[in-house]
Structure 1
């Protein structure tokens, strides 16, 4: 999935909390770059918080009306095969219209669904075949072309389907480990992430009422092809049952940070809405 990260909350945690609030209020409660920008591979098996199990219901956090923003998972709707997972992906993934009229498809538009990025010991992203815990993954790439005094803005949206909630929870835990181990990461030659920090909030912690596990990463993006930099970089990830979803944004000279954050929240929110519609239990 790459272009993402993790972090233990620090003084900048208020920025992260703000993103969670926006995601929770946008689209009814929350919503993929090729190679090193797809879903993450195996890393440390030591999560900062225990992921849920496939058979244990996740807690719910109430919205303003008292109804939970995170409904109960219908485990009977979880995909059991790769084919079922790919079909589910097709109903969850978003196109450029989810971000607004200024956003276009980038080239390439979609990642290789047979590949998965892994952060090696030198903090360089490599790609491998899908690991056993991933049934299907998709990353789509978008852009706002350079115009009106700003450079080219890059966005990618990723959805990954696991067998159950336990596996998707471990993915979030590994994301935390990766950013702590490698605050500076190389995406590819001439393209780097610098000074990454990140954090995760379980449902009900602080301001997270929109996802079972919220994970946000922030830092700087440096790219020779994008005019050097550094430019703002942000990754926002959510989880519902066996599905993780995330949107990353890479800023540009002259493009407001707030506008970049809003695009990330908007995409994440749409993805989460789609996921809940597909996997939540029907209301009684």
Structure 2
């Protein structure tokens, strides 16, 4: 869902099934921990996240087609499913409950490693929502009706030696139900198809974007109801010297869905880092946030 600049945190939703092979490459970078959740195997997203501020009046499924029932979750080493059933009694009923849940689905200091620190400002405006306009430029608007609460938090790896500053965003969005969170992913995929080049703000762009969605059970997706990934290049055209700008850097947004919740991690690379090095932060962040979402809303085994 692009955007690691002023409008850099987007959220996304579920159903267009394109570019699956591309996402499989992303998921190859993950392995399962003892608890059954994906972890970095030693190897990007602002996104961060943004959906459209409006939602269909009767979103039984994206695109009007019947949404397939979840595939049978595979079991982890413990024998418990990697994606447990959602306990509807635990789902937030209003904005206040959703904001409280946001406080329990978040990365703490040091969760992404000792090199990652909080940025200033650290959190997005809770009443604003990024929107990709008709000209493929990111703007902001008030929260849409299908979002109970959302929050983006900003981290970075400081520049050091011959390495530049890496920016990392995490976004958690809470909807009323699974259908609304599914629509968020579907809109994210539509945005990539509609705008493979997107302007974050003056002098900053995302280019050559491609994305893919894998439903639970498709290819290697056994960790989330819907896995969405978007990758491309981050380009700054405001630098000094010949060409007025830095060389394009790697950009990735990775998102997962569990019931009414979507979680996402986006990363904007910097000189001195390979895509493989950056991917470990994306995998680690999405893994930790998804574990927390399942702990908060999943049915207890037994």
* Fold in common (TM above 0.5): yes
After superposition, where does 1:93-172 map in structure 2 within 5 Å?
93-172=106-185
Structure 1 pair 165–205 and aligned structure 2 pair: CA distance change class (3 A): same
Structure 1 pair 18–167 and aligned structure 2 pair: CA distance change class (3 A): same
1:48 Cα offset (Å)? 6.6
Contact 1:220–1:233, Cα closer than 8 Å, also in 2? yes
1:233 Cα offset (Å)? 0.2
Q: 1:268 aligns with which of 286, 289, 301?
A: 286
Secondary structure in 2 matching 1:156: strand
1:203 Cα offset (Å)? 0.2
Q: Counterpart of 1:25?
A: 32
Q: Distance in 2 between matches of 1:244 and 1:92?
A: 11
Secondary structure in 2 matching 1:195: strand
Normalised by the length of structure 2, the TM-score is 0.83
Moved more, 19-28 or 180-189: 19-28
C-alpha distance after superposition, 1:236-256 (max 9, x if no partner): 000000000000011111112
Structure 1 pair 48–264 and aligned structure 2 pair: CA distance change class (3 A): farther
Structure 1 pair 187–79 and aligned structure 2 pair: CA distance change class (3 A): same
Q: Does 1:278 align with 2:289?
A: no
Moved more, 202-211 or 222-231: 222-231
Normalised by the length of structure 1, the TM-score is 0.88
Secondary structure in 2 matching 1:171: helix
Contact 1:39–1:158, Cα closer than 8 Å, also in 2? no
How many residues get paired? 276
Q: Distance in 2 between matches of 1:127 and 1:280?
A: 32
C-alpha distance after superposition, 1:55-84 (max 9, x if no partner): x7x333213545321011001100000000
Name structure 1 gaps, 5 residues minimum.
none
Q: Counterpart of 2:262?
A: 244
Q: Distance in 2 between matches of 1:129 and 1:43?
A: 11
Q: Does 1:9 align with 2:27?
A: no
Structure 1 pair 143–69 and aligned structure 2 pair: CA distance change class (3 A): same
Name structure 2 gaps, 5 residues minimum.
4-9, 40-44, 240-244
Moved more, 164-173 or 43-52: 43-52
Structure 1 pair 236–122 and aligned structure 2 pair: CA distance change class (3 A): same
Q: Distance in 1 between matches of 2:97 and 2:292?
A: 16
Q: Does 1:39 align with 2:50?
A: yes
Moved more, 64-73 or 228-237: 64-73
C-alpha distance after superposition, 1:247-279 (max 9, x if no partner): 001111111211101110100000000000000
Q: Does 1:206 align with 2:219?
A: yes
Q: Counterpart of 1:59?
A: 71
Contact 1:43–1:178, Cα closer than 8 Å, also in 2? no
Contact 2:55–2:146, Cα closer than 8 Å, also in 1? no
Q: Aligned-pair RMSD on alpha carbons?
A: 2.7
Structure 1 pair 81–184 and aligned structure 2 pair: CA distance change class (3 A): same
